[in-house]
Chain A
Amino acid sequence: MKVHAPATVNEACEMLARAAAEGRTLRPLAGGTDLLVHWPSKSAAHEGEYLDLSGVSELRPLVWRDDALVLGALTTYWDVVREARVAAELPLLNAAARQVGAVQIQSRGTWAGNIANASPAADGVPVLMAYDAGVALRSSGGERVVPLSAFYTGYRASVRRPDELITAIEVPIRSRDVAVFHKVGPRRAQAITKIGVAITRLAGSGADRWRIVANSVAPTVVRCREVERLLDSGARITSAGGFMPALQADISPIDDIRSTAAYRRTVMGRLLYHSLLGACSSVV
């Protein structure tokens, strides 16, 4: 294992650019929690080059702008838990952070790392996506911001180029009248998600207000756009089964070591129905 330790974002980007040019894989490393969980059983598979970001202090801060919360790439779940304003203005971030692993993991694991690791079971991603977060990607050539909902291209695959570094996550602050996060794990704490859903609705009237984001039910964390369209259309849903036709188009769960496709599909419908029953009686 080879570890590179840049001091600045520029230096990190140069290292990534050089590695990309030479065809080497250089993986950015923040909290390391996704790496350590496989140690030592998969240590051979993890042999390789890492870009240790822990010394890049520019990536650390959590900053409030007028229109957005900006999470630097080294912002941990615990940083968010400790930020009282998050619970008031973006409560789902707080709710999700508290359900990631245990406090030890929450205080090391980062939101950006969770995005980059690209697991379909990522706990931090659904709530960010439901808040219309954008991912700031920096390379030696410049910076771009990609909507998180357009970030993933397939299982463990994203639009991030090998020479790009996630430097921040921008979470726009907008008024929402529905905000629900529900994680179903195989036990009540310290568990990997079997089915998860984050639900938000922009306040006011107009189209495109709903965000329904699910994890562990598709190759990536997914926006359930058919369900969103159904809800945006103003349809009244009277049972969990009422969501199933739209959900069938949005999600593609599988049988795996943690659950079954049938279970995931059924529970997702019930979670949507009961979450909306609790949060928004105008729909169900």
Chain B
Amino acid sequence: MLPMHRLEGLAKLTGAERYLDDEPIPGCLWGMTVRSPVSRGRITAVKFDPAIDWSSFIVVDHRDIPGPNETYLIENDQPVLAAGCVRHVHEPVVLIAHEDRRLLRRAVAGVKVEVDPEPPVLDYRVPPRAEQVQRGSDNTIKSLRIAKGDVERALASAARVIEGEYQTGAQEHIYIEPNAMAAWVEGDVVVVRGSMQCPYYVLNALKHALGRDERRVRVIQAPTGGGFGGKEDYPSTLAMHAALLSLKAGGRPVKIVYDRDEDMAATTKRHPSRVRHTTGVDADGRLTAMKIDVLLDGGAYVTLSPVVLSRGIIHACGPYFCPNVLVEGRVVLSNSVPYGAFRGFGAPQTQFACERHMDRVAGAIGMDPVAFRKLNLLRDGQTTATGQTIGGISGGTDRVALLDRALKLGAWEERREEAAAFNLTHPYLRRGVGVSCVWHGAGFTGNGEVYLDSKVQVAGLADGRIEVRAASTEMGQGTSTVFAQIAAAAAGYDAGEIVVATPDTAVVPNSGPTVASRTVMVVGRLIEKACGELKQKLGTRGSGLGVGGLNGDSLRRAIVEWHARNPGREPAATATFEPPPGVKFDDERYVGDAYATYAWGACVAHVEVDLRTCAARVLDFASVQDIGRVINPVLAKGQVQGGVVQAIGWALLEECRFRDGAMVNNQLTNYIIPTADDVPPIEVEFVEVPYAHGGGGAKGVGELPMDGPAPAVLNAIADAMGREVGADPMTIPMTPERLMTLVEAAEGAHGV
């Protein structure tokens, strides 16, 4: 397939694209949220400033919810609006709407939520005292375990045992467009339109809380300015809020657009993590035992934490073979904003720990970090921690060759030698190189894709074009473009003759959420199947051509003729997901094929540390990834480069600072994301090992780019600082302040 520009690229480039906030809605009210001032307690009163004339405002609280006061997700423990108690600062309590945004801001400030405080959990790493327990006996949201072989015996007989503890912090998504949603009532139907990744998640949440079936609720995606997981589940909350206000306002449209500071303070973030490794190796440096303890901060409600933990522990051993594994994972409740989906979904956290640890293990046994990785990388025929044999549809990738290619692309040997010479002469700059090897299972974990039961419809339009109907959303990553390419290839069309329908639950079937790197691989494959079905239908019933004989011009003609014969109707075909044969996973025991296939990657980072300030800067970055067949090279490269930038931010700069459970740097002036000047040249190459069951042969590309950069960068910092200074960074973000503390601890305070 030829490279193709993004279909919506020009509109975005020129500013012609209209996000929800840009779009005037006649008669629209603005909605805003009154939030909890404290991290935990019982609401004793909600007081409205008597100086404000409240008769001109629409006011909603939990008593206005027609259905259960629950956010429909894995567990329905999160209220739509707090009733009786609050569990985190900024938890929504009251909603207010008014035509005048300025008056609305003042009104929100005129509502006081009075709370009798209870002892909150503000550090997830500390076991809770009795009065802090809010769930079960110890605030555990979910525990999961993977066991293979006998790890204790293997540790006891290992030549060396190396331990390490690694921590990662919360991260903000910083999608360009903050969360935004509008709701109104058409006849008896509640319609919401806004920024989102998963229209059917929003639909399900509305059905549940509003007590309506799907015929009386409709969800439409508006142009969406980035998601990264931050618009996976959170838009359900906004949609319910906007719908409640609209219903109370007699069906008038209500628009809620979060300010940046509100979005940063009140919405989900990446789960903070603490991962402990105990690793046994034999005399040759082969991994014999990996005992891993994963602890995640889940925040105040369950949301998606159990599945984030699941993906986290499955990826915790990295792309290595080890015969004896025990991974124990736990996600615990704390009184912060619920942590949620964020690109990588737990895997970046556990792979940061694993890849930093692999360098430290190699160092401890006197092995080169590359040689150590090559010795231990999974070979086809070997098994993962869940006992999945890599091979067949999950095999075919030479992971050692992939690493070699990344080393070449990242000029590993040359830069390593250069750095050694440079560091001897420069008064205060130190350079180093770091490597990482990662993997990422694409699609939902285990039997998740089967439960999703995803569907895609394609229809022939009267003019002969083909429309693709899926709930998968375009949010800047290129869904529309790649769908058009895949359908065009399947139909023998030009991509310009494919219409990709706007996700609207009244029009498109549920192709599943736009998450988990599944869109091209899983949904793309359904598009191919549906196109095949359409050809077959038209071929057998229509022009007399044989099955599958229609393609391109003949298909176009057949569609036009079909319409002529059947006025007012359309030829359409629907495809439903079927798992690849032989893929089996035991959800209870965590044994088997955790993912049908995996994407693989290797990264090389070249870093410079300024000993005056202890600031680290990435000078060059190289990434080589096997994502199956590359459908659109420009978009795929963009995904990788974007992931590298986001991961460098996570590794070095981005830190959510909390005071009493509230994020205090909820402004872009103080939450530091990389600028163009903080980002190095990023070299990207692909290894293409096609996946037989993926759209166009693709595996997932969305998340893998987030997994490798942070450990590669930290390994490079350790390389730059290690020999001379002895600092061994094991926490991110590795801010200059943190690195200076490490350096001073390693050497005692010293001048340079």
Contact = CB atoms under 8 A, between A and B. Distances in A.
Contacts of B657: 257
Interface stretch (B59-67, B670-678, B710-718): B670-678
A113 to B, nearest CB: 17
Given A187-B678, A240-B751, A266 B109 contact: no
B737 interface: yes
Contacts of B736: 263
A263 B740 contact: yes
Contacts of B672: 186-187, 191
Contacts of B262: 41
A39 to B, nearest CB: 9
A43 B664 contact: no
B617 interface: yes
Interface SS majority for chain B: loop
A190 interface: yes
B737 A241 contact: no
Contacts of A57: none
Contacts, number: 67
Interface in A109-125: none
A277 B653 CA distance: 29
A184 B617 CA distance: 13
Contacts of B632: none
A266 B672 CA distance: 22
Contact of A188 (B427, B665, B675): B675
B612 A267 contact: yes
Interface residues of B, number: 33
Interface stretch (A4-12, A130-138, A147-155, A268-276): A268-276
B105 A189 contact: no
A187 B612 contact: no
B751 A273 contact: yes
B677 A37 contact: no
B740 A266 contact: yes
Interface string B709-744: 000000000000000000000000001110010000
Interface string A223-262: 0000000000000000111100000000000000111100
Contact of A274 (B259, B261, B427, B669): B427
Nearest to B657: A257
A266 B653 CA distance: 20
A257 B259 contact: no
Interface string A32-45: 00000100110110
Given A43-B105, A257-B670, A259-B737, A189 B751 contact: no
Contacts of B752: 240, 270
B44 interface: no
A192 interface: yes
Given A186-B653, A187-B653, A257-B664, A192 B740 contact: no
A129 to B, nearest CB: 22
Given A189-B675, A260-B737, A266-B740, A184 B613 contact: yes
Interface in B357-376: none
Contact of B675 (A41, A190, A273): A190
A167 B105 CA distance: 36
Interface in B615-664: 615, 617, 653, 657, 664
Given A186-B653, A277-B427, A239 B751 contact: yes
B653 A270 contact: no
A37 B669 contact: yes
Contacts of A257: 657, 664-665, 670
A53 to B, nearest CB: 24
Nearest to B739: A263
Contacts of A273: 751
Given A44-B106, A187-B653, A263 B678 contact: no
B428 interface: yes
B261 A41 contact: yes
A274 B612 contact: yes
18 contacts: A40-B105, A44-B106, A44-B109, A184-B613, A186-B735, A187-B675, A187-B677, A188-B677, A188-B678, A189-B677, A190-B675, A241-B751, A257-B665, A263-B737, A266-B740, A266-B749, A270-B612, A270-B752
Given A188-B677, A270-B752, 6 more contacts: A40-B259, A41-B262, A187-B678, A192-B669, A241-B751, A263-B737
Interface of B: 105-106, 109, 259, 261-262, 427-428, 611-613, 615, 617, 653, 657, 664-665, 667, 669-670, 672, 674-678, 735-737, 740, 749, 751-752
Interface of A: 37, 40-41, 43-44, 184, 186-192, 239-242, 257-260, 263, 266-267, 269-271, 273-274, 277
List the 4 closest pairs (A to B, CB-CB), nearest first: A240-B751, A239-B751, A270-B612, A189-B677
